[in-house]
Amino acid sequence: MWIKFSILMLVAVINVALSFIIWKRNKNKDKARLYFSLMCFSAGLWSISLGLMFLDVSIFFYTLSVKGNYIFSTCIFIFFMFFCSEFLYKVKNKILNYLALLLFLTTLPIIFTNFLFKKIYFYEGLLRYDPNLIMHLLYGFFFLLIFFYSYYILFLKYKNSQGINQSRILLIIIGTLISFIFGIYFDWVVLYVNQYHLFWIGPVFMIIMNSSVAYLLFKKENE
C-alpha cells in the first residue's frame, strides 16, 4: 500500500513541479501554456486524491478523496480541451463553451451528492467503494466526447501546420494520447472488468505526457 501511495505522490510532485515550471516560464501570459499548466496541476491533484484513498483515515475523508478523484480528472479534460483550442492560434467554436459549461455543471452534483457511487464499505480492513456503474458509464462517455473533440482540434491544427509547429503538435499528441488512453483504461474501463484495484496505475502514465512536454521545454540544440 505504501509503495502505491509513494508512487502516486511522486507522480503528483512531478506534475505539480512541471505545472509550476510552465507557469513560471509563461512571461507573455500565453493562454495555451496557462491551460496546460493548470492541466498538469489538476493531474497532480488527481494523483494525490487517488493516493489519499489508500490512507483509510475515515469514511468522510475517503468520500472526499473519491470526489476529488472525479473532480480533478474532470478538470484535466476541461483544461486539455481549452489548451487544444488555444495552442498556436485560438479556435473559435461555440461547442467549446457549451462543453465547458456542461462540464462545470456536472462537477456541482459530484461535490454535493454521491450520485457516482453506491456505497462505501470496509473490505478486508480497507475502505472501498462501489461505483454507480450506469452513472459512471455515462460520465465516462462524456469524458470521451471531450477527449475526441480535443483531439479533433489538435489533429486539424497538425494537418494545417508546417515545420517546427507540426513537430511540436505531434509530440504533444503522442505524449498526451498515450497518457490519456492508459488513464481512461485504468480508471474507467477496469471498473467493468472487475480489476478495480488497478485504478492507481492511471496517473503513472501521466509521466509520458510530462516527458514529452519536458523534452520540448528543455531540449538542448546543436548550434
Q: Which residues contact other proteins by CB under 8 A? A: 22, 25-28, 30, 32-33, 36, 88-92, 160-166, 168, 213, 216-219, 221, 223
Alpha-carbon gap, residue 201 to 194, rounded angstroms: 15
Q: Is 197 exposed, middle or buried (0-12, 13-18, 19+ CB in 10 A)?
A: exposed
34 burial (CB, 10 Å; 0-12 / 13-18 / 19+) is middle
Q: What is the smallest separation between the CB atom of 84 and other proteins, expressed in angstroms?
A: 14
> Of 32 and 52, which CB lies nearer to other proteins in the complex structure?
32
Distance CA 22, CA 15 (A): 11
Nearer to other proteins, 30 or 56 (CB): 30
What letters, b where the CB count within 10 A reaches 16 and e where it falls short, cover 139-148?
bbebbeebbe
Report the nearest approach of other proteins to the CB of residue 75 (Å). 20
Residue placing its CB nearer to other proteins in the complex, 91 or 120: 91
Q: How far is the CB of 30 from other proteins (least distance, A)?
A: 5
CB of 59 to other proteins, least distance (A): 42
Judged by beta carbon, residue 69 or residue 210, the one nearer other proteins is 210
